[in-house]
Chain A
C-alpha cells in the first residue's frame, strides 16, 4: 500500500518536474527569441514603426494592437517577409501605405522579430516558434 502510494507520488513528481522543465525551457526560448528579435527590430522595423511600436501618423501602423496581432499571426509573418500592398485597419484607423518586403530574413529571424513584437508594446503573445512561421509562410506563398 505504502509502496504503491510512493510510486504514485514519484510518478506525479516526475510529471510535475517534466512540465516545469518544459515551461522553464519555453521561458528561456522566449527570452532568447525576444533578445534576438529586439536587435533585428531595431535594424529592420524601428525606422517606420518606431522604437516603442507607436507607428507614424497614418503612414505606418502601431504594433500595439494585440487583438489584431493575435488574430493575424499568419498574415503578419507574410507581411514581414513579402511586404504588403493591402489596406488594413489597426486600432480603428485605416493604413494603406506599402510595406516593403524583407526577403533576406529567414524563418528563424521572423520568429525572433515576432516574438519581440508579440511581447512588447503591451502585447503578451508568448514564444512564437520558428515552425509556426514556416507554416505561415508556406500558406501565404502558395499563390506565387
Chain B
C-alpha cells in the first residue's frame, strides 16, 4: 500500500514536470514576430469548398544596381531574411550611426547565407555605384552579404514607401535630404516583420534578438 502511494506520488511529480516542459516548448514555438502592413482576406475555392485566406502586404519586385554595378533584384533576397535602410554617403547626421549599427548586424551574422543587408541610397545623383563601392570598402565590407542599391531616384523613393520609410529631397535638411533612420526587417516571403530606430542602441539590440526569432521560424520543421 505504502509502495503504491509512493509510486503515484512519483507519477504526479513526473506528469507535472512533463506538463511544465510541454508548456515551455509551446511558449518557445509561439514566440513569433508580427506581420506588419496591410492585409486582406481573399476567398478561394479548394476542392469545391470556399476557403478564406489572408493576403499580406509584400515588398514589390525591384531591380537596382549594387556597389559592383551588378543587377540585384528581389530574388537575391528570397532565400534570406534581410534588414534594409535608406541613407546617403555624404549624410552628416544620422547615417554614420546607422552604418555603425548595421556593422553590428553584419558582425553577428557574418557568413550566414540566410541573413542579408540592403542599403538604398536616396541620393543616386551623387552616390553612383563606384561611390557606394568606396563607402563599402571604407566600412570594411567584403562580398555581397551587405548590398548597396542604386537606381533612379523615383524608383528608390517608391521602395521607401513600400518599406513604410519616409524619404524626400529637402534643401533645408542637413546634407540636402530628409529621411528616417528606420531599419526594416523583412522575411523570406518579402513581408515586413519589424521596424526599428537605427540610431537607438536599445532598438538595435531588439532587432538583433528579433532576427534570431525570425530565423527560428524557418528552422522549426
Residues on A lying within 8 angstroms of B by beta carbon are: 47-48, 50, 56-60, 97-98, 100
Secondary structure call for the B interface: helix
Instruction: Pick 28 A–B contacts, CB within 8 A, sort by A.
Output: A47-B92, A47-B93, A47-B94, A47-B96, A47-B97, A48-B92, A48-B96, A50-B100, A56-B96, A56-B99, A56-B100, A56-B139, A57-B103, A57-B138, A57-B140, A58-B137, A58-B138, A58-B139, A58-B140, A59-B96, A59-B99, A59-B135, A59-B138, A59-B139, A60-B96, A97-B138, A98-B90, A100-B92
Set of chain B residues within 8 Å of A100, measured between Cβ atoms: 92
Set of chain B residues within 8 Å of A98, measured between Cβ atoms: 90
Residue-wise interface mask of B (127-161) relative to A, using a CB-CB cutoff of 8 A (1 in contact, 0 not): 00000000101111000000000000000000000
B185 CB → nearest A CB, Å: 23
Interface centre among A56, A57, A60, A100 (most CB of B within 10 A): A57
Counting from the closest, the 7 A-B pairs by CB-CB distance are A58-B138, A57-B139, A59-B138, A48-B96, A47-B96, A57-B140, A57-B138
Set of chain B residues within 8 Å of A57, measured between Cβ atoms: 103, 138-140
B114 CB → nearest A CB, Å: 25
| Distance between Cα atoms of A57 and B103 in the complex (Å) | 10
| Distance between Cα atoms of A97 and B97 in the complex (Å) | 16
| Distance between Cα atoms of A48 and B139 in the complex (Å) | 12
B207 CB → nearest A CB, Å: 19
Using CB atoms, name the residue of chain A closest to B97. A47
A60 CB → nearest B CB, Å: 7
| Distance between Cα atoms of A87 and B137 in the complex (Å) | 16
| Distance between Cα atoms of A50 and B100 in the complex (Å) | 9
Using CB atoms, name the residue of chain B closest to A50. B100
| Distance between Cα atoms of A48 and B174 in the complex (Å) | 14
Using CB atoms, name the residue of chain A closest to B90. A98
A59 CB → nearest B CB, Å: 5
